[in-house]
Amino acid sequence: MESLDKQNALRMITLFSGAVKGIAFYPASHPAIHQPMVELYKILTSAFSRADQIAWGLIDGIMFYDDHLFFEPSTAISDLTNRMLEKDVGRIIMTADVSFEEMQNFIRLFSNKGISFDVLATQLLQEGILHIHLVRQGAESFDEQDDQNDDVKDDRVGTYNKALAAIRSVCRDIERGRIPNSAPVLRIVDRMVSMTMQEPTTLMGLTMIKDYDNYTFNHCVNVGVLAMALGASLGLDADTVRDLGIAGQLHDIGKTMVPKEILNKPGKLSSDEFEQMKRHPELGSKIIREMKGLAPHIAQIVLGHHLHYNRSGYPQWARKLPFNQMVDIIATADTYDAITTLRCYQHPVNPKTALNEMRKLTGTVLDGALMGQFVEMMGDYPVGTVVRLDTNEVAVVYRPNPLENEAPVVRILIDENGERLPVPREQSLVDHDGSRYASIVAVVDPFLKNLDIGRLVSSGNFY
C-alpha cells in the first residue's frame, strides 16, 4: 500500500519546502511557520500509519516521493531541488516514530545555506535526530553510504557522535515520560566493542571531548569508552566489555529525573538537594529494568556505581547487596572522567594529576587493583597530556603505545617556531621499524599555551 497518494505526497513536499524557506524568516513558534509544520506533521503521521519508512528526493534531477514522480516542478519543488543539490543530498528518509521536534529541528538545520552533506549529517546526529537519515546524491542506500564511509575514513569521531546521539535520545524519552528504546545504544556499543577488543585504547582519545554544555551526554559516552578500555585491558571477554559499555553509557541517565536547577547549580548543594541528587543511581536502574533488551545486571551496575569500593557510598539501602567487579570498573572510569572534566573548566592540568588524585582514593572509593591496571593502561603520558618534544614542537598525546610507554602517538599542535598548525598532525614518536621521530622532554600546561584540548578534539580538524 502506498503511504500517501500523489496529491498528498505533493502537499507534503510543498509544505516541507515552504517550512525550510520560512524558518529563515520566522521563529519556529510563529503561526506563519508553526501552522504549516503542524499540517506537515499530520500528513507524515498518516503516511506512517501505512508505512514504516518514507523517502523523498531526487532521481536524475526529478523530485520523487516513494513511487510518485513530479515531472512538472512547482516553485516549491524547484526550491527544494536546488537546496538538495547544493547540499549533495539525494534522498531524505524518515522512519516511523519521528517526533514533531525532530522534524522541526531537521527543517531548521536543512535551511542553513552553504553547509555540506557531511556537516549536515553530523549535525543530525549531534542533535539526536535519529529518525531522519540523509543519502548522498548517487548513493544507493543509507546503509551502503554508511559502510562506504566506514571503509574510507577513520570512523572514531562518527562512532562517538552516534553514541552521543543514542544517549541523548534515551534521555529525551525519559523526559517525555516514555520508556526509552535501548536499540540505538546497543547498536553503537556493539560497534565500539569490536573496535575496543582489537585495541583497548583505540577510542580513548575521544574522551578528551568535554563539552560543558552537554556535560551529561559526553560524560556518559566517556565513561562507557573508559570502562570498555579498562575491561579489555584486563583481558575480560567481549560480552563483559559490551556490558561495561552499556552500563557506562547509561550509568547517569537517572540524572534526567533530578531537577535541572540542582544538576546545574554552580555552588555547593544543600543537604536536601544532595539527597535528591543521590537518588540518580536508583532512578536510573529502575528505568533500565523497564527497558527492553537489557540484562538485569546492567541495572544492578548502575544502581551500585556510587557505592564505593568499601561500600560506604549511596544508596545506603543497597550497601549489603552483592555486586560484581563491573561496578568498580564503572566507578573508576566515572571518577577519572569527573576529575578531568572538572579540571578542564577550572585550570586544565595534565591527566597524570587526575590519576594521582585517584590513587589517594584507592581502598576506600576505588579498587586498588583496578586502579593499578588503569594507571598502567594510561601509560606514563595519559591521553590528553600536552607535551613538548625535543624538536621543540608542542603536541597532545592521542594514543598510548603499549610497547613503549615513552613514545605514544601524538597530535602536533604547535610547530618548532611556535606557530599553531591550522590542522593538527598525527605523529608516531617511534615507528614500527624502531626509527624515532622525537622524544618527549616535558609536560606542558595547556592553560599557559591557551590550548582548549576538548575543543581541538571535537573540532573535526583534529581527526
The C-alpha atoms of residue 446 and residue 119 are separated, in whole angstroms, by 28
The C-alpha atoms of residue 402 and residue 376 are separated, in whole angstroms, by 9
For Fe ion, the closer of residues 248 and 446 by Cβ is 248
The C-alpha atoms of residue 371 and residue 146 are separated, in whole angstroms, by 37
Q: How far is the CB of 336 from Fe ion (least distance, A)?
A: 10
Q: What is the dihedral of CA 339, 343, 348, 351, to 10 degrees?
A: -10
The C-alpha atoms of residue 330 and residue 195 are separated, in whole angstroms, by 19
The C-alpha atoms of residue 295 and residue 183 are separated, in whole angstroms, by 13
Q: How far is the CB of 345 from Fe ion (least distance, A)?
A: 16
Amino acid in the structure at residue 2: E
Q: How far is the CB of 220 from Fe ion (least distance, A)?
A: 7
Q: How far is the CB of 246 from Fe ion (least distance, A)?
A: 15
Look up residue 268 and give its DSSP letter.
P
For Fe ion, the closer of residues 328 and 334 by Cβ is 334
For Fe ion, the closer of residues 203 and 333 by Cβ is 333
For Fe ion, the closer of residues 252 and 367 by Cβ is 252
The C-alpha atoms of residue 399 and residue 154 are separated, in whole angstroms, by 14
For Fe ion, the closer of residues 13 and 171 by Cβ is 171
The C-alpha atoms of residue 340 and residue 463 are separated, in whole angstroms, by 21
Q: At what angle do helices 280-290 and 296-303 cross, to 10 degrees?
A: 170
Q: How far is the CB of 65 from Fe ion (least distance, A)?
A: 45
* 53-59, strands of its sheet edge to edge: 68-70, 62-65, 53-59, 89-95, 132-136
Q: How far is the CB of 257 from Fe ion (least distance, A)?
A: 13
The C-alpha atoms of residue 218 and residue 226 are separated, in whole angstroms, by 12
For Fe ion, the closer of residues 243 and 334 by Cβ is 334
Q: How far is the CB of 232 from Fe ion (least distance, A)?
A: 20
Phi, psi dihedrals of residue 233, rounded to the nearest 5°: -75, -20
The C-alpha atoms of residue 401 and residue 201 are separated, in whole angstroms, by 9
For Fe ion, the closer of residues 17 and 335 by Cβ is 335
Please name the residues in contact with 115: beta carbons below 8 A apart, sequence gap of 6 or more: 87, 123
Q: How far is the CB of 334 from Fe ion (least distance, A)?
A: 4
For Fe ion, the closer of residues 136 and 280 by Cβ is 280
106, containing H or E segment: helix 100-110
Question: Considering only CA atoms, which of 209, 194, 89 is closest in space to residue 161?
Answer: 209
Look up residue 246 and give its DSSP letter.
H
Q: How far is the CB of 212 from Fe ion (least distance, A)?
A: 15
Q: How far is the CB of 7 from Fe ion (least distance, A)?
A: 52
For Fe ion, the closer of residues 174 and 396 by Cβ is 174
Amino acid in the structure at residue 239: D
Question: What residues line the site for Fe ion (CB under 5 A)?
Answer: 252, 334
Question: Considering only CA atoms, which of 178, 135, 186 is closest in space to residue 162?
Answer: 186
* Look-up of cell digits 513530479: 70
For Fe ion, the closer of residues 308 and 411 by Cβ is 308
Q: How far is the CB of 280 from Fe ion (least distance, A)?
A: 6
For Fe ion, the closer of residues 208 and 414 by Cβ is 208
Look up residue 228 and give its DSSP letter.
H
The C-alpha atoms of residue 238 and residue 197 are separated, in whole angstroms, by 7
